[in-house]
Every structure is written in C-alpha cells, then in structure tokens.
Chains A and B, each alone.
Chain A
C-alpha cells in the first residue's frame, strides 16, 4: 500500500501503452529473412519525404540493405542539422536540400562527390553542382494559382503573368506568403527578382502593395484560410504548379476539371530543385552510392509525385495520366544561381520586408 498514487499512475500509463501497442503502427513487413544479416544504411531527410512500401522493399531486398530514415524537420532545419554535424555525420545520405539552400550545404562542405552513372539520364539544367556533390532528384514549380470559378462567374480573365497582378481589376485578389518564414513565399520573391531584375523587383512589390496584396506567414494559412477555393476571400494565391492536378486527385467527389489553375506565363514561376548527396565521412559509402542510384532510377522517380507532391527529374520516369493532362509546366521559370541566392538572400528579404510590411 505504499504510495497508492504511484501505483495508479504507473498502472494507467501501462494501460495506455498497452492500448497503443494494440494498434501497432504499420511498419513494413521485413521482407524474407535473408541468409546474411542486412547491412544498415541511414538516410536523413526533410519532413516531406515519403516513399511507397513496395518501392522501399524492392531496394532492401535487392541489396540486402536495411534502410533507416531520420526525419530532420523542414528543409532549412535539416540542412542546418547536417551542417552542424559535419565531420561526424548523423547519417550516410542526406536527401532534401533544395536550390535555395544548396550553397549553404556546399559551402559548409557537408557532402562528398559522387558521380552516379544515372546522372547521364538527367537533363543538365537540373545539375546545379558541377562537382556532383549534390545530385538532383525532383523539382516543383512555385506558381500563382487561381480559383477558376471565381473568374468565370465574373467574366474576368485570369492573370497571365506577373505584370497583370498590378492591374486594377485584380486589386485585393492576391494572397502571398512571407519570404522570411515560408519556402514558397521565398521562391515567389525569387521569381520576381529573376523576372524584374534586382533593379525592378521592389517597384513591382510596391505596386502589389498599392493593389492591396495580402501577406501571411505560411502556405497553410494562405491556401486553406485566405484562398477563396477553401473559405477565404482571395482567388489568387502563391502555391505550386502541381496544386491543380492534386486538387483533382484529392477531391471530395470525382471532378472533370481541376477547380484551380496555375499561371505559367514567362518568368512567373520559380523552380525548386531538391538534391540528394552522400554525407562527408559517411560510414557506409558503398551502400550510400546504391541508395543514391536508386533515388535517380525510374522505379523511385515514378513513385515521387504521389508520395511527395513534386516531380521526377529523370525523363524516363512515367507520370500518372492526371499529371500528363493537367500539370502545367512553365516554359521559362525564373532562375537565380544558388551562389547569388546565398549571397543576397538576407538583403533581399530585408528590402522586401521594408517595402511590403512596413
């Protein structure tokens, strides 16, 4: 009868644990016990990483490797973690650095070079690191999206490019994300810098302010709170070029057409490319190479869109037909080099903040 309370608390805790254990999380079934114990490979990723069970299983089976994933927060957090752990890497491979953070990763020296044979299949535009320390895996375009019905009902033509947003008929219709806190927000700022140049982008933003642009801090608020498609009042939002086909795939009821569309006029989108690399000093270099090759191979690449909502860089990967039909690929996305981004990011965000938020 010693402290009854301790007993009670322990009892209930155990009960909860037991309850939790009754519904085991769906971990992949270990595929066939191989004769030799599998070798272990650790892959660090950002929190948007996902993969199909069978795609992972086929890799694990083929090479008798057991992959453990470490999730390291959003892209920026994950890059920081990798940079701070330099020299004593947390994993063998790191996937998830994008072109807006690439310079930080390369300057910090977190990767070692690996010229995968599969790079031959991938278009050169995606290869931003000539030394092959970071290898491109997927891309996504940050573009303006608009609600189709809103413009149809009012017989209003939707905007076709960035300049259109300054017209009086679009006053009060646009919501964007803060580049200091949001990755698509930053990408859209880069699009305007790429398109109008360093000399002109702030004038454009000044014009947007005069046209009553709304700024929120994150994509979730912009898209699900302010965007008119989902209960807000503004029919134009900064999102991804891929959002319209996903609106179809994840609709409540089957739709004939996507309810939203992307603006893909020249220079109005910014392309985010995500990279994988072998961490400097990786304990399992040989296994890491196999994993990197696998990520660039069509099997993994075809799995990307429905798992991670971005698109394969390997043109041999076939896309789901919804994407073939409704994915708008901008002809000329705006471009900035990772080195420029690294050098100017802080100043650009500061100037933008002065112009738009003050």
Chain B
C-alpha cells in the first residue's frame, strides 16, 4: 500500500507543482490583497455579497442558465454522439471537424455571425419580411435568454460529441444485443445498459459544459445584452468599473466554491459507477446505415448539427466576401457584390503601425501558443489522469481530484490580476515572457485533458496489464501494447481540446500577450474595435481565415489516428 502512495505522489508531483505556482499562488495573492483592502474587516465583503438581493439574483440566474444550457447541450450532443459512435458514413470526419470549429471562435465574432443570420436585418429576418410582406423583423433574437442558450449549445456541443462519442464508440454493442435477446426493448436497453455504461463520460462532459456555462462571460455580455449578468460579469464590473476589490474577491470565492461543489458532486456520482470495461475496436462497434430508419435518423441529426453549429459561421464567412455597402438599404434590395478586398487589405500595413501583423503571422502566433499548450497540458495531464484512474479511492486522489477543475471555474479577471502581482517580480519575473500565454491556456486546458483521459484509463482492466506482465512484458511494453492502444483515442481528444482552447482563448490572452505578437483573436478584436467598413470587413475576413485553419487543423487530427484500438 505504501508503495502505491509513493507512486501516486510521484505522478502528482509535476501537475501539483504547476498548479501551485501558476494557479494557487497568484490566486491566493490577489484574493488576500483584495480582502485586505476591505476597511470593515475580511468578512465584511462576504456578508455584503450574501446579504445583497442583486447578488442573489445574479447567482440564481447564473445557475439557472447554466443548468438549462447544459441540458440543451446534452439534448443535442447525446444523439449526435450516438450517431458518430455507432455509424460509419461518408463525410463523418468532416462533420466531426466542423462541429469543433465553434470552440475556437471569439465571442465577438460569433455574435457578428449570429447577427448576420438572425439580427433585425439579418438574412432570415429580411427573407421573412420579404416573403410575408411584414413591416418589422419578426424574430427578436439578440439580447434574449434564447440567444444565450443557443450560443452555449453552439459552443459546447462539441464537448459532448467528442467526450461521450469517443467513449461510446468503444462500448461493446453486444451488451445491448444480449439484453435485447433477453427481452428488453430499445428504451430499456438505453436506460438499463447503455446509459449506465456511458455515465462516466456523460458526467465528465456535463460537468465541463456546466462549468463553462456557469462562468460564461462573453456570450452573456455580447449576445445576452444588459439585462443579464452572471457572477463572472458581476466580478468584472466590480473589479474594473468600480474597483471594489474586496467585493469582487468575495464573489470570486463564491464562484469558486460553487465550482468546487459541482466537482465534488461529480466525483461522488462518478465514483460510484466507474467500472472496468472491455473496450472494443471501432471496427466491431460501428456499422453502416442500412435501414431507412437509420438513414432518416442520420440525415436529420447531421442536418440539425450543421444548422446549429455551422450556419452562424457560414453567415460570417459570407459577409466577409460581400461588399458591406449592400446592407445599407433597409429593404435589402441592392444585391451585395462579391469582393476579396478585405482579404487583400489584411496583407497591407497601411498605417505602418509597429503592432501590425499579417494574418498568417497572427495565425502562426496562435498555432505556436496552441502547440506549446498541447505539450504542456499533456505532460501535466497524463500523470494526473493516470494517478486518478489507478485508484480513485486513495485519500490523495479524493482530495486532489476536485481541485483540478478549479482553474476552469475561476474568474479570468481575478486570476489575470493575480498573475500581475504574483508573477511580475524576481524570482519569477514573467512580465514580458511569451510563456505567460501558454501557461494561462494550460490552466484551462489541463482539466479537459484529465477529464478526457480518465474514463478511458479507468476502463483498462487491471487483468490485462497483469496478464501482459505475467507473459513477460516489461512495464514499457505494457504501456506500448496495452495502455496506449486503449487510451490513444482519448489522448487525441485531449490534445484536440487543448489545441482548440488555446486557439480560441481571448480573455486571458488579451491581458497577457505581447502587443507585437497578437494571437488571431486579439488581432480580430483590434480590427473590430475601430470604425470603418475596411476595419470591420478585415475583422470578418481574419475570422474566416481562423475558422478555415481551425477546420483544416481538426480534419488533420481526425486523419491522424494513432494507436488505434484495432491493433490488439
């Protein structure tokens, strides 16, 4: 037993050291500094937060919209995951890649896409007005709760598709068939066999989606409008606008404890159900679409996914290729012409600005940071997932497991300020260091990596390892021939998440990046914050280029099937 603890401790060493230096230390510094500014004592801001009606309203709304968003995301994601897990069809790789693109898009750009589609003069409203001869746009979408929910589904469905879909694709369908033979109907199989087996992956995905929605900032601000505020928005307002740091710190702590509560709940739920499974190669689990029922389901599901996840992006790409002047007329009667002017302009440093970057170098900066994030997140995530999967019940794991999720639930404003006071002076002077950005991205990506890997690693039956060892395999061979084939796919999912999280991250990046090396989202934001058709058009064009790179990148990852389970 003692030996096992030592192994765990060893595995935890690097991830814990990283979190201690780059998460707990800055967070602790900013929280204690903020609270020490409170004139009425450290507890006063907490009392103020808890007693305030408006804060309570904010908390209620934050939880309510997060629950609703998570449910809707599962509602779309689970059938989608089933389709991707059980059937093989043409264009599946492309579909998977496309559904991942939303994850990398900055909120401001996504909002532009939604407004091109559903705004008062967006394509759909204009079409409906012309079709039915209406005086006013019939659909009011922006600045509603619906916009928040749709945007959350848009962003997070890929989490369910990937995490649940990949796990599902390795589940042995014969288990369900056996149940059917024994007289269970379809729903009973789903309810009694499939869902219980899938639950580790479902819980993990739902937890991540929930925390993302719970700490939502850009979507609430830009698409939800001024009538909605989450805790994260309130923390931003208290910090930046009012400089009420003690109250902001109390709210941050509140948000953190909610995250911690959710994670502990998750750990308890998933601790009960995780059991080693015999995972199958996808060769044995996937079939073709044969019956008309299957085809109809596939067709409907693909259409639904494409409509919800890609039309806003297509609308955006469409706008980047048309002259914007055409939008001038309220009736939309002037057909906008096609143009590449915005793309051409991106390559010109017209104002000879020092901080100008070509679109390719902005994408290059993004890719460099993303690669560093993938490496860092995997190096830290692998041992942590390993430790977690070998023995969930060990006291060390039980304490550390919930802590891993905390960075995701931490307010970006708070942590950003924490970086400044904690990491700006010797011995750790990272003020102008290009490492800050991938470090911040890794904090967000790390929980994803761990959560993607753990269900797969847990499913490795110890017997397999023992058998291999008994048959004379060295530990290295066990990893190579047993562990890796089984977790290979999950590793790929983890890497994809780290990659896309890094490419799309804007909040922390804008606080930490060097002005000479803006990432693509930062460069897009710079263009978007200036008046003039050329600036707006260029922002749309650069977003479209980013989108294309993300799609191609994800297609490449799809093709790049390492250590497929089929090897054994």
Q: Please determine whether A224 and B536 come into contact, CB atoms closer than 8 angstroms.
A: yes
Determine the distance from Cα of A349 to Cα of B26 in the docked complex, in whole angstroms.
31
Closest beta carbon of chain B to A219's beta carbon, Å: 7
Residues of A within 8 A of B308 (CB): none
Given contacts A23-B361, A181-B221, are A84 and B327 in contact (CB under 8 A)?
A: no
Closest beta carbon of chain A to B465's beta carbon, Å: 16
User: Nearest CB to that of B476 among chain A residues?
Assistant: A2
Residues of A within 8 A of B244 (CB): 346
Residues of A within 8 A of B476 (CB): 2
Interface string of B26-45 (1 = CB under 8 A from A): 00001001000000000000
Residues of chain A in range 312-358 having any CB-CB distance to chain B below 8 Å: 345-346, 349, 357
Q: Please determine whether B357 and A25 come into contact, CB atoms closer than 8 angstroms.
A: yes
Residues of A within 8 A of B420 (CB): 81, 84-85, 90
Closest beta carbon of chain A to B197's beta carbon, Å: 26
Residues of A within 8 A of B361 (CB): 20, 23-26
Residues of chain A in range 8-33 having any CB-CB distance to chain B below 8 Å: 8-10, 12-14, 16-17, 19-28
Determine the distance from Cα of A251 to Cα of B233 in the docked complex, in whole angstroms.
34
Task: Give the most central of B30, B243, B479, B526: most A CB within 10 Å.
Answer: B243
User: Nearest CB to that of A14 among chain B residues?
Assistant: B371
Residues of chain B in range 216-268 having any CB-CB distance to chain A below 8 Å: 221-222, 225-227, 233, 236-237, 239-244
Q: Chain B interface: which of A72-80, A157-165, A192-200, A271-279? A: A72-80
Q: Please determine whether B528 and A231 come into contact, CB atoms closer than 8 angstroms.
A: no
How would you classify the secondary structure of chain B's contact residues: helix, strand, loop or mixed? helix
Q: Please determine whether A51 and B536 come into contact, CB atoms closer than 8 angstroms.
A: no
Residues of B within 8 A of A216 (CB): 143, 225-226
Residues of A within 8 A of B237 (CB): 180-181
Residues of chain B in range 99-132 having any CB-CB distance to chain A below 8 Å: 108, 111-112, 115-116, 119-122
User: Nearest CB to that of B532 among chain A residues?
Assistant: A250
Q: Which of A25, A223, A251 contacts B534 (CB 8 A)?
A: A251
Q: Which of B119, B352, B372, B479 contacts A232 (CB 8 A)?
A: B119
Tell me whether B515 is interfacial, beta carbon within 8 Å: yes
User: Nearest CB to that of B508 among chain A residues?
Assistant: A73
Given contacts A77-B416, A252-B323, are A25 and B365 in contact (CB under 8 A)?
A: yes
Determine the distance from Cα of A254 to Cα of B116 in the docked complex, in whole angstroms.
25
Tell me whether B378 is interfacial, beta carbon within 8 Å: yes
Closest beta carbon of chain B to A172's beta carbon, Å: 10
Q: Please determine whether A54 and B352 come into contact, CB atoms closer than 8 angstroms.
A: yes
Q: Please determine whether B360 and A23 come into contact, CB atoms closer than 8 angstroms.
A: yes
Closest beta carbon of chain A to B564's beta carbon, Å: 11
Q: Please determine whether B221 and A246 come into contact, CB atoms closer than 8 angstroms.
A: no
Q: Please determine whether B240 and A13 come into contact, CB atoms closer than 8 angstroms.
A: no
Residues of A within 8 A of B243 (CB): 80, 83, 104
Given contacts A20-B364, A180-B241, A309-B531, are A81 and B417 in contact (CB under 8 A)?
A: yes
Tell me whether A257 is interfacial, beta carbon within 8 Å: no
Q: Please determine whether B431 and A70 come into contact, CB atoms closer than 8 angstroms.
A: yes
Q: How many residues of A contact B (CB 8 A)?
A: 91
User: Nearest CB to that of A147 among chain B residues?
Assistant: B328
Q: Please determine whether A88 and B513 come into contact, CB atoms closer than 8 angstroms.
A: no
Q: Please determine whether B225 and A181 come into contact, CB atoms closer than 8 angstroms.
A: no
Determine the distance from Cα of A302 to Cα of B72 in the docked complex, in whole angstroms.
53
Q: Which of A16, A49, A74 contacts B240 (CB 8 A)?
A: A74
Tell me whether B470 is interfacial, beta carbon within 8 Å: no
Q: Which of B222, B227, B355, B510 contacts A218 (CB 8 A)?
A: B222
User: Nearest CB to that of B220 among chain A residues?
Assistant: A217
Closest beta carbon of chain A to B324's beta carbon, Å: 6
Residues of B within 8 A of A45 (CB): 515
Closest beta carbon of chain A to B238's beta carbon, Å: 10
User: Nearest CB to that of A248 among chain B residues?
Assistant: B532
Q: Please determine whether B562 and A5 come into contact, CB atoms closer than 8 angstroms.
A: yes
Tell me whether A230 is interfacial, beta carbon within 8 Å: yes
Q: Please determine whether A357 and B341 come into contact, CB atoms closer than 8 angstroms.
A: no
Residues of B within 8 A of A229 (CB): 328
Residues of chain A in range 56-90 having any CB-CB distance to chain B below 8 Å: 56, 68-74, 76-77, 80-81, 83-85, 88, 90
Q: Please determine whether B355 and A76 come into contact, CB atoms closer than 8 angstroms.
A: no
Closest beta carbon of chain B to A212's beta carbon, Å: 12
Tell me whether B495 is interfacial, beta carbon within 8 Å: yes
Residues of B within 8 A of A85 (CB): 420-421, 424
User: Nearest CB to that of B357 among chain A residues?
Assistant: A25
Q: Please determine whether B516 and A20 come into contact, CB atoms closer than 8 angstroms.
A: no
Residues of A within 8 A of B417 (CB): 80-81, 84
Q: Please determine whether A3 and B241 come into contact, CB atoms closer than 8 angstroms.
A: no
Determine the distance from Cα of A130 to Cα of B375 in the docked complex, in whole angstroms.
53
Given contacts A25-B516, A81-B420, are A1 and B480 in contact (CB under 8 A)?
A: yes
User: Nearest CB to that of B244 among chain A residues?
Assistant: A346
Closest beta carbon of chain B to A29's beta carbon, Å: 11
Interface string of B345-375 (1 = CB under 8 A from A): 0000101111111101100110110111011
Q: Please determine whether B368 and A243 come into contact, CB atoms closer than 8 angstroms.
A: no
Residues of B within 8 A of A2 (CB): 476, 480
Q: Please determine whether B354 and A217 come into contact, CB atoms closer than 8 angstroms.
A: no
Q: Which of A52, A226, A309 contacts B530 (CB 8 A)?
A: A309
Tell me whether B330 is interfacial, beta carbon within 8 Å: yes
Residues of B within 8 A of A49 (CB): 515
Determine the distance from Cα of A8 to Cα of B556 in the docked complex, in whole angstroms.
13
Residues of A within 8 A of B526 (CB): 47
Tell me whether B79 is interfacial, beta carbon within 8 Å: no
Given contacts A27-B516, A216-B225, are A252 and B325 in contact (CB under 8 A)?
A: yes
Closest beta carbon of chain B to A308's beta carbon, Å: 10
Q: Please determine whether B372 and A76 come into contact, CB atoms closer than 8 angstroms.
A: no
Q: Please determine whether B351 and A26 come into contact, CB atoms closer than 8 angstroms.
A: no
Interface string of A233-252 (1 = CB under 8 A from B): 10000011011001101111
Q: Please determine whether A224 and B112 come into contact, CB atoms closer than 8 angstroms.
A: yes
Tell me whether A228 is interfacial, beta carbon within 8 Å: yes
Tell me whether A306 is interfacial, beta carbon within 8 Å: yes
Q: Please determine whether A23 and B112 come into contact, CB atoms closer than 8 angstroms.
A: no
Tell me whether A125 is interfacial, beta carbon within 8 Å: no
Residues of A within 8 A of B378 (CB): 9
Q: Please determine whether B354 and A225 come into contact, CB atoms closer than 8 angstroms.
A: no
User: Nearest CB to that of A68 among chain B residues?
Assistant: B432
Q: Please determine whether A181 and B241 come into contact, CB atoms closer than 8 angstroms.
A: yes
Q: Please determine whether A240 and B222 come into contact, CB atoms closer than 8 angstroms.
A: no
Determine the distance from Cα of A70 to Cα of B514 in the docked complex, in whole angstroms.
6
Determine the distance from Cα of A17 to Cα of B528 in the docked complex, in whole angstroms.
27
Q: Please determine whether B226 and A357 come into contact, CB atoms closer than 8 angstroms.
A: yes
Q: Please determine whether A8 and B562 come into contact, CB atoms closer than 8 angstroms.
A: yes
Residues of A within 8 A of B33 (CB): 84
Q: Which of A52, A71, A81, A223 contacts B351 (CB 8 A)?
A: A52
Residues of chain B in range 534-561 having any CB-CB distance to chain A below 8 Å: 534-537, 560
Tell me whether A220 is interfacial, beta carbon within 8 Å: yes
Tell me whether B205 is interfacial, beta carbon within 8 Å: no
Interface string of B495-516 (1 = CB under 8 A from A): 1000000000000001101111
User: Nearest CB to that of A28 among chain B residues?
Assistant: B354
Task: Give the most central of A1, A47, A178, A239: most B CB within 10 Å.
Answer: A47
Determine the distance from Cα of A181 to Cα of B242 in the docked complex, in whole angstroms.
11
Q: Which of B115, B360, B365, B515 contacts A69 (CB 8 A)?
A: B515
User: Nearest CB to that of A249 among chain B residues?
Assistant: B532
Determine the distance from Cα of A310 to Cα of B514 in the docked complex, in whole angstroms.
22
Q: Please determine whether B529 and A220 come into contact, CB atoms closer than 8 angstroms.
A: yes
Give 11 A-B contacts (CB < 8 Å), ordered by A residue: A8-B562, A16-B367, A17-B367, A20-B365, A45-B515, A53-B353, A70-B431, A72-B511, A180-B241, A246-B530, A252-B325
Ranked nearest first, the 6 interchain pairs of A and B with the lowest CB-CB distance are A250-B532, A20-B364, A76-B240, A13-B371, A250-B534, A20-B368
